[in-house]
Amino acid sequence: MFLVKGKDLWEVECKMHFSWCLRKMLKLRHVLQVLVPSRVSTVRRIWDEIREPRSKVRWHRLVWFGFNVPRHSVVLWMSILNRLPTFDRLQGKGMILENHCILCEAGAESRNHLFADCLFSRHIWNSILGMCGLTRRMLDWEGELNWLCTCLKGKSLIVFILRLAWCSYVYFIWEERNLRRYRGHSRDCNSVLACVKEVVNTRVQKKSIRLDTVNSNLYAVWGIS
Ligand SMILES: [Zn+2]
């Protein structure tokens, strides 16, 4: 049973002194009644009734996971869908004429360049891979995303760190690009890497981690106390 002001949602009278939001909600009860004729339901059941079912995308766990930073997840989500306003997209719409990467000055800005081909960004992500004890080098955008989707399975600390780091890496590269383009301010690779490290540190500290040899090494390399 849903209670509003201590009374059954379906019985409570809509009064003028209720907040605008509550009055609006009470006026929409008839919509809910159509969806929930029995009046006995759960949020999950209502959600299942109104949503449009679609199959899960393979990258959903890269974007949405426990202890994520929501604004970082949103930027990663937009980048995977290639919806960030990168200059190649603006150029395609005739909104700009010139397109060069503000991070390396050596290529045209696109999602794939910014997050995978750009030397500035590659240096940061390769450093992160090294801090996780991995000797592999970054692939192109599709290849790296594919590797992450395939390999980041389970609940180990290294998987958690790589998920967090990838999400933060994309966010801080996008932030750096915006700082340079619109604020005339720039940071070097180490400063951006430090931002990723700080996010990893604060999020890992919220979790309860079993400190075996592998995890202790990760703690030491990432400077987690
Ligand atoms: Zn570049």
Task: List pLDDT tens digits, range 120-150.
Answer: 999 999 999 999 999 999 999 999 999 999 9
Q: Are residues 97 and 206 in the same domain?
A: yes
- Has residue 75 been placed in a domain? yes
Give the pLDDT confidence score for residue 14 in this predicted structure: 84
DSSP 71-140: HHHHHHHHHHTT-S--HHHHHHTTS-S----TTTSSS---HHIIIII-HHHHHHHHHHHHHTT--PPP--
Q: In angstroms, what is the span from residue 105 Cα to ligand 1's centroid?
A: 6
Contacts of 34 (CB under 8 A, 6+ apart): none
Between helix 157-178 and helix 119-131 the angle, nearest 10°, is 160
Same domain, 14 and 100: no
CA distance 79 to 133: 26
CA of 188 to the centre of ligand 1 (A): 13
Residue 55 domain-assigned (yes or no): no
Task: Say whether both 70 and 138 belong to one domain.
Answer: yes
Q: What pLDDT does residue 50 have?
A: 75
Whether 218 and 121 map to the same domain: the answer is: yes
- In the block, tokens 């930027």 appear at 75
Asked if the structure places residue 108 within a domain, the reply is yes
- Kindly tell me if the per-residue pLDDT of 43 is higher than 80: no
**Band of residue 114 on the pLDDT scale cut at 50, 70, 90:** very high
Q: Tell me the C-alpha distance between 133 and 140, whole Å.
A: 20
Residue 132 shares a structural domain with residue 199: yes
Q: Six-digit token pair at 138?
A: 């970054």
- The rounded distance, in Å, linking the Cα atoms of 177 and 183 is 10
* Structural domain harbouring 15: 3-50
Rounded to the nearest angstrom, the distance between the alpha carbon of 117 and the centre of ligand 1 is 7
**pLDDT recorded at residue 83:** 96
Q: What is the DSSP letter of 8?
A: E
Distance 45 CA to ligand 1 centre (A): 47
Residues 112 and 181 placed together within one structural domain of the fold:
yes
Query: What integer pLDDT is reported at residue 41 of this predicted model?
Result: 59
**Protein residues with C-beta less than 5 angstroms from the ion ligand 1:** 101, 103-104, 107, 118
Residues 6+ apart with CB under 8 A from 120: 103, 104, 189
Quote the number of domains for the chain: 2
Average pLDDT score over residue span 186-212: 95
Is there a domain that residue 8 lies in? yes
Residues 35 and 72 reside in one and the same domain: no
Q: Are 42 and 144 in a shared domain?
A: no
The pLDDT of residue 182? 95
Residues 109 and 35 in one domain: no
Name the token pair of 29: 């009860």
